[in-house]
Amino acid sequence: METAFDKIADTVIYEFDPPIRKIPMREKHFTTAMATMLGLVIAAVPLIYGYVPVQTPDNLVTFRVDGTWMQLGTQPFVFASMVAGYIFDKDEHLAVRSKALGFIFSILLALKWSLWNDHHWFCAVQLMVVSYIILQAMVYLETRGSVHLSTALICAHASKNMIQALLTFTVQSQVAVLSAIVLIMMVCWVEELMVTIPLTHMRRKSQTMSMQLPIMYNSTTALVMHYTLIEVFSGLYAPLAILQSNTMEWSTLGAAVVLFSGLYYFNQHLPEMEEKTGHHLIKQWNKQQYTIKGWRSQQKMAKYIQRIVDRNVFWNTIILMILWCVGVVFKPPISVTTLFILTSTAKQHITQPLDSLWN
């Protein structure tokens, strides 16, 4: 059923013609790279009015640069994708509604930043124009790109910081680079930790398979959701930016407590939100005619799997906190959150068959 919001989405989102051919992966990478370069160029253009000092904030899960046409960046769209599941029905229109909601958030934030903070009204117009461009770029890259625009911009910015630190021949910068490499190795290692569940086919008993439940059960979703909220709310109320503290000072202790609370809360509720609880997993396996070997009661199987899920969710929270503490102590050039995003994105494409790049 079409709603008023669907009409808004139809108005603001340009409907690109679907590809008439299979787009090679190398072409998707190239298109994503061009869109990323455009975003980085826009991030280097200062706002025409207002004389706002250009500064790249320590954002962790979104890309934005203060004082430039990327003052809002991808933040409204990332925030919208997070809350859309609570506002709209989970159907085939959710992604479109999420992007339109992100554009509405961009308009509201542009007006708030420009008028509330006594900046020139034309700054709001500039930010709205850029948000509209980002909206269309995200829609275009859905079928013709390889990586989400926000992720690509974060990875590009993180890579720049790594290269700058590597080329700065000081003890502090070299230690930072070394700590980043160690953290990347730790991230790759923990993402490979699995709990194996042996399954057997309901009819063909000799046909078995192993279902692996990752220790990092929710991956970094809880971390991304926590810092997205912190970034958005700190943009609305500046003192909350202290919750992003990642340096060795007393304020970091409060930030750590809030971080642990946020991670634990989101990790506890994500399996239900994403339909990945023990009950949902057993239901999915049954559809494929698989069951846990030696078990007959569906209810007992669901409780057994749920205990594993709860344990993995707990360790997910602990591991994320440990890696965050390591990042606070050794201070890598990029945050642990960004390292997770960078590493998972790289693994997603590096582990693909090499010939996919040449198709």
Query: pLDDT tens string for the chain (359 positions)?
Result: 566 777 888 888 888 888 888 888 889 989 999 999 999 889 888 887 654 555 555 556 788 888 888 888 888 898 888 888 778 777 777 888 888 889 999 999 888 877 776 677 788 888 999 999 999 999 999 888 888 888 888 888 878 877 877 787 787 787 878 888 887 788 778 888 888 888 888 777 777 888 888 888 887 788 888 888 887 887 777 787 787 776 667 777 888 889 899 999 999 988 888 888 989 998 888 888 888 877 778 888 889 999 999 999 999 999 888 888 887 777 777 777 777 777 766 665 555 443 333 33
Residue 114, classed as helix, strand or coil, is helix
pLDDT of residue 307: 92
d(CA 344, CA 351): 11
- Domain of 292? 175-359
- Domain co-membership, 111 together with 248: no
Residue 138, classed as helix, strand or coil, is helix
Contact in structure between 270 and 222 (CB atoms under 8 Å): yes
pLDDT of residue 50: 52
- Domain co-membership, 201 together with 153: no
d(CA 236, CA 304): 44
pLDDT of residue 354: 37
Q: Where among 167, 188, 209 does a domain terminate?
A: 167
pLDDT of residue 355: 38
Contact in structure between 73 and 43 (CB atoms under 8 Å): yes
- Domain co-membership, 163 together with 184: no
pLDDT of residue 137: 92
**DSSP bridge partners of 196:** 212
d(CA 265, CA 88): 22
**DSSP bridge partners of 291:** 200
- Domain co-membership, 13 together with 134: yes
Contact in structure between 33 and 144 (CB atoms under 8 Å): no
pLDDT of residue 346: 66
**DSSP bridge partners of 211:** 197
- Domain co-membership, 208 together with 112: no
Q: The tokens of 48 are what?
A: 């025409």
Q: Where among 110, 144, 167 does a domain terminate?
A: 167
Q: The tokens of 196 are what?
A: 């194996």
**β-pairing verdict for 194-201 and 208-214:** antiparallel
Is the sign of the CA dihedral 87, 10, 138, 17 positive or negative? positive
Q: Is the backbone of residue 24 left (phi > 0), alpha (psi -120 to 50) or beta? A: beta
Give ∠ CA 80-83-84 in degrees, rounded to 5.
75
- Domain co-membership, 84 together with 183: no
Is the sign of the CA dihedral 21, 24, 25, 29 positive or negative? negative
pLDDT of residue 347: 63
- Domain co-membership, 189 together with 163: no
Number of domains in the chain: 2
d(CA 109, CA 92): 27
Burial code (b: 16+ CB inside 10 Å, e: under 16) for 142-177 equals: eebbbbbbbbbbbbbbbeebbeebeeeeeeeeeebb
pLDDT of residue 49: 62
Q: Where among 144, 167, 190 does a domain terminate?
A: 167
Looking up residue 36, the CATH number of its domain turns out to be: 1.10.3370.10
